[in-house]
Chains A and B, each alone.
Chain A
Amino acid sequence: MTDYHFFQLSESSLMLIYPNKIDVRENTFIQQLAQTLQHTTEISGITSVIPGYATLTINFDLLQIDQATLQTQLTKQMNLLETTVTATQRIIDIPVCYDEAFGPDLQAVADFGHLTIADLIHLHTQQTYFIFMLGFLPGFAYMGSVPDQIAMPRLATPRKALAAGSVGIAGKQTGFYPVVSPGGWRLLGRTPLKLYDPQNPRPRYHAGDYIHFYSIDRHDFDEIYQADRADAFKLQIHQRIGDHS
């Protein structure tokens, strides 16, 4: 975790930059550093942080701390953290109805991977996906990585409006659209869960969590849809201790 440098993004923000690659271990470190800095009392003047895939943007108050002092103190924090990073993982189960009415690209992605639709669903649900960061839309999680066999590139022309809850693939990434949005992802299905609620805007998952999709039928979709909107659906969250791989 020593291969990094700092870049001054603006007068009052500093960017910690790791090599431009998708790496769960490195991103986990970035997430934990972000959480530490967001709540630290050790360093005065940090106003907010934004983790990226391989970067951490640190905004600070110039009237409280200067860039050089901040950089020295950050380096100290990073060295401390490297020895204390723990590997408890949170896995959140997300139900998905892989029905062609919800997943108009099921056949295209199955063809891309030389698979049947049933095999495609099996492949998409058999592993967990790491949330590298939240951004783009309220509650939008950047997750990866799907097997190469089904890592189909985005549509050449994005669709104008994808329904909230749409689940899809864009290259090695997979994810869901929390609100109605234009989008070019290859859609495989839809989750009945309410992924974003302006009345209760905090996301139900965070960067650093893992998502596990499981397949449900149309009947379950309708039931969970109703239950979740009546606050009667309990999201299944598991803990596991393990190495990030």
Chain B
Amino acid sequence: MNTIEILHPGLFTTIQDIGRPTHQIEGFSESGAMDQLAYQIGNLLLNNPNDAAALEYTGIAPDLLFHTETFIAITGAKLSQPSLNQQPIQQNTVYAVHQGDQLNLGPITAGRFGYLTIAGGIQTPKVLDSRATTLKAQIGGLAGRTLRAHDQLPILPVQTLTSLEYRHLAWHALPATQPIRLLPGPQWSQFTKQAQTQFLNQTYTITNQTDRMGYHLTGKPIATPTTNLLSQGTAFGNIQITRNGDPVVLLADRQTTGGYPVIATIAAVDRHRFVQNAPQAKIHFQLLTVTQATALWRTQQQNLQALTQSFHAMKYQPPISPQRIAAQKITSMIQVTD
């Protein structure tokens, strides 16, 4: 059996993938990686299928011992000093690991959620079509729970693809000071003009009530509609205004249905930027039209596809330098969209 052993689980490490959207009809949370962009980049660096399961960590990242050889990449939240066998390693870069290698990821210093992707993906059994861990339902990942010391994660045997090694993506998100872009929500027009203006003009603070289900924000409370809303289906990034007038942003492990009015939804192109905010971070919003947001999202997805295709095209070419240059060129396309 090819396995990776957890030496130290970190603070909150789970197995995640693209989630189980088709089971929302049965009441199961979608789940999956919080930062789908960082997770996707990790997988495409490794030529993985786009739903290959990865480790997601927050706060303090795990330490692992490899009982087999494979390739890995770390993406997402910034780590203070990740190392492979005591040698510092970089993010967004592919490394070859061998039997007996030890990976120490350590604490996160910026951002919120990071990913360790592994060639071929983690091979824990699928539950309801996904390997994503949903704690509330106790399904997915390993027994539906966060990882613990001594857990063994099954992985696939890999062929040595020298062209993968040191593949690197110089990718940076927009600075945190830029506004988080929004679409109007289904109940937007039920809020008063004054509430809408106040919502768009004020600076919100992310509270300590933040988890994979959602982030609670606080600001000057806004007036909520008085109509009693029947529960409706939710989407990633929906911003509900609760009875006390503060927003809650619904994220990966959100309930499938909700009864609070949804004033707006975070534009898909900015989801990854929003989820990487830690408690106490200041947030302000900017409203887009559906057309603008759709164009931005389409461009981001098309650039990712182009990057994937170019990586696949380079799969069997001689290693390192030519493709690193190519990868960096393509990288600039992703940044344009951001």
Taking CB atoms, residues of chain A closer than 8 Å to B26 are 134, 202-203, 206
Contact of B230 with A138 in the complex, beta carbons under 8 Å: no
Tell which of A3-11, A113-121, A150-158, A220-228 binds the partner. A3-11
Q: Do A136 and B257 touch (CB < 8 A)?
A: yes
Q: Is B297 touching A135 in the complex (CB atoms < 8 A)?
A: no
Instruction: Check B230–A52 contact: CB distance below 8 A.
Output: yes
User: In the assembly, what is the distance between CA of A67 and CA of B295, in Å?
Assistant: 12
A-facing residues in B163-217 (Cβ within 8 Å): 183, 185-186
Residues on B with C-beta less than 8 A from A20 are 227, 229-230
Binding site for A on B (CB under 8 A): 21-22, 24-28, 127-128, 136-139, 144, 183, 185-186, 227, 229-238, 255-257, 262, 265, 267-268, 290, 293-294, 297-298, 301-302, 305
Chain B residues near A8 (CB, 8 Å)? 183, 290
Interface residues of A in 159-173 (CB under 8 A from B): none
B27 with A11: CB separation less than 8 A: no
Contact B233 A51 (CB under 8 A): yes
Across the interface, which residues of A come within 8 angstroms of B230, CB to CB? 20-22, 52-55
Q: Are B232 and A59 in contact (CB under 8 A)?
A: no
Nearest opposing residue in chain B for A52, CB measure: B232
Q: Does A24 contact B (CB under 8 A)?
A: no
Q: List 5 tightest A-B contacts by C-beta distance, closest first.
A: A57-B233, A50-B233, A134-B27, A135-B257, A53-B230
Chain A residues, Cβ within 8 Å of B294: 11, 62, 67
In the complex, are the beta carbons of B186 and A15 less than 8 A apart? yes
State the interface size on chain A (CB cutoff 8 A): 45
Tell me, yes or no, whether A17 is within 8 Å of chain B by CB. Answer: yes
A59 and B21 form a contact (CB under 8 A):
yes
Q: Which residues of B contact A17 (CB under 8 A)?
A: 186
| Residues of chain A within 8 A of B238, CB atoms compared | 9
How distant is the Cα of A22 from the Cα of B216 in the complex, in angstroms?
Answer: 29
B293 proximity list for chain A (CB < 8 A): 11
Closest to A19 in B: B230
When the two chains form their complex, are residues B233 and A15 in contact, meaning their CB atoms are under 8 A apart? yes
Q: In the complex the two chains form, is A47's CB within 8 Å of B21's CB? A: yes
CB distance from B137 to the nearest CB of A (A): 4
Judge whether A56 is part of the interface by a CB distance below 8 angstroms: yes
Within 8 A of B (CB), among A38-60: 38, 47-57, 59
Choose among A11, A138, A207 the residue that contacts B290 (Cβ–Cβ < 8 A).
Answer: A11
A207 to B231, CA, bound (A): 14
Indicate whether A138 sits within 8 Å of B28 (C-beta atoms), given known contacts A20-B227, A53-B230, A53-B232.
yes
A22-B230, A133-B257, A206-B26 provided; 7 other pairs, C-beta below 8 A? A9-B233, A15-B186, A17-B186, A21-B230, A52-B231, A63-B302, A136-B255
Chain B residues with Cβ below 8 Å from A52 are 230-233, 257
**13 pairs from A and B in contact (CB 8 Å cutoff):** A9-B233, A12-B268, A49-B24, A50-B256, A51-B233, A53-B231, A54-B230, A59-B21, A59-B235, A62-B294, A133-B27, A201-B137, A202-B26
Instruction: Return the contact of B231 from the options A15, A135, A196, A201 (Cβ within 8 A).
Output: A135
What residues of chain A lie closer than 8 Å to B301, measured between beta carbons? 62-63
**A160 to B220, alpha carbons, bound, how many Å?**
29
